[in-house]
Amino acid sequence: MCLGIPGQIVAVADADAMLCTVDVSGVRRAVDVACVAAPGRPLDELVGAWVLVHVGFAMSVIDEDEAAATLKVLTEIGEAEAEMAALRLGLDQNATI
């Protein structure tokens, strides 16, 4: 099963390509933020934001409490481990998640 997993945007990786570096439980990957970026606004404004990441795209901005609650539920049902393993094994450092 493929789920959205919470991550925090920590840097702009490539503004022209709409990519930001997202930290997902210690694993950092480039993620497409076109779906959550405000039109005409700099991507730097997203640094620090929490997002739900699914197949390489930030699908929505969430608050830190929602991120923590989602990670807790995913861990409890065993899905967080599978998602993190896929991130670690399936992608290199510069790939998108």
pTM tops 0.75: yes
Residue 25: its pLDDT value, please?
Answer: 85
Average pLDDT over residues 44-65: 95
Pair 51, 60: CB distance under 8 Å: yes
Write down the mean pLDDT value for the chain: 85
- Please report which confidence band the pLDDT of residue 55 belongs to, taking 50, 70 and 90 as the band edges: confident
| Direct distance between the N- and C-terminal alpha carbons of the chain, in angstroms, rounded to an integer | 15
Residue 71: its pLDDT value, please?
Answer: 84
Correct CATH for 5-90 of 2.30.30.140, 2.120.10.30, 1.10.390.10, 1.20.1530.20: 2.30.30.140
DSSP letter string, 23-79: EETTEEEEEE-TTTSPTTS-GGGGTT-EEEEETTEEEEEE-HHHHHHHHHHHHHTTH
Q: How large is the greatest C-alpha to C-alpha distance in the chain, in angstroms?
A: 39
Q: Which amino acid is at 18?
A: M
